[in-house]
A and B are shown apart, each in its own frame.
Chain A
């Protein structure tokens, strides 16, 4: 079945450091890929998405590129801020079946210190 593997945290960075959170996936066909973020005390919210190979999703300075050849969707940000501290979930959804049965990774906790 479909699965998502992402690096375990926690990841602790200083403010303005470069961030990479690795994510790889296993799926049949050509899924859509997502990064969701969960800030402390809040519900999950979509950060960015990519629906086909070589697409780049971006939002709030974060980027991720859909790499079919390596089945990866790594999340990057050039300069993190304290406000980016949260748990980040990589996820996929098959582009079939007519609805979004999303499979999530385990989440990576990011802590940014001033």
Chain B
């Protein structure tokens, strides 16, 4: 079990640039989630995939954000035209889909927009 891995661990970018993050879930997990965490706050739900289908998006996810999960394996989260308010820790989690199954989280990608 290699766990959930996220890449990169840290990303520093200038305002207006595009960034893309990658998440590799636990291999047998068909459910994948993206959360965002800002300093002093708990994680906030962004979006959810079951296999390759994106089944829910939070209203926090503006049209500058897009997430994909081709082939139902790894996922990418892209932010276009980054703003300083996008600075946060972006967390990925996966689960097997059993009722009340726990989420397995990655260590996150820390985004800093200058």
**Which residues from chain A sit less than 8 Å from chain B, CB to CB?**
4, 32, 34, 36, 41-46, 49, 51, 89, 91, 93, 95, 99-107
Which one of A36, A45, A99 lies within 8 Å of B97 (CB-CB)?
Answer: A99
Q: A43-B4, A43-B105, A44-B91 are in contact. Are A101 and B45 (CB under 8 A)?
A: yes
| Contacting pair B4 A105 (CB below 8 A) | no
Contact status B43-A44, CB under 8 Å: yes
- Nearest neighbor of B31 in chain A, beta-carbon distance: A99
Interface centre among A42, A44, A105, A106 (most CB of B within 10 A): A44
Q: Is A43 a contact partner of B41 (Cβ separation < 8 A)? A: no
Per-position contact with A for B98-114: 1 when CB-CB < 8 Å, else 0? 01111111111000000
Bound CA span A28–B107, Å: 31
Q: B-side interface residues toward A, CB under 8 Å?
A: 3-4, 31, 33, 40-45, 48, 50, 55-56, 91, 93, 95, 97, 99-108
Verify B106–A100 contact, CB threshold 8 A: no
- Shortest CB distance B5–A (Å): 10
A102 touches B45 (CB 8 A): yes
Chain A neighbourhood of B100, CB < 8 A: 32, 49, 51, 93, 95, 100
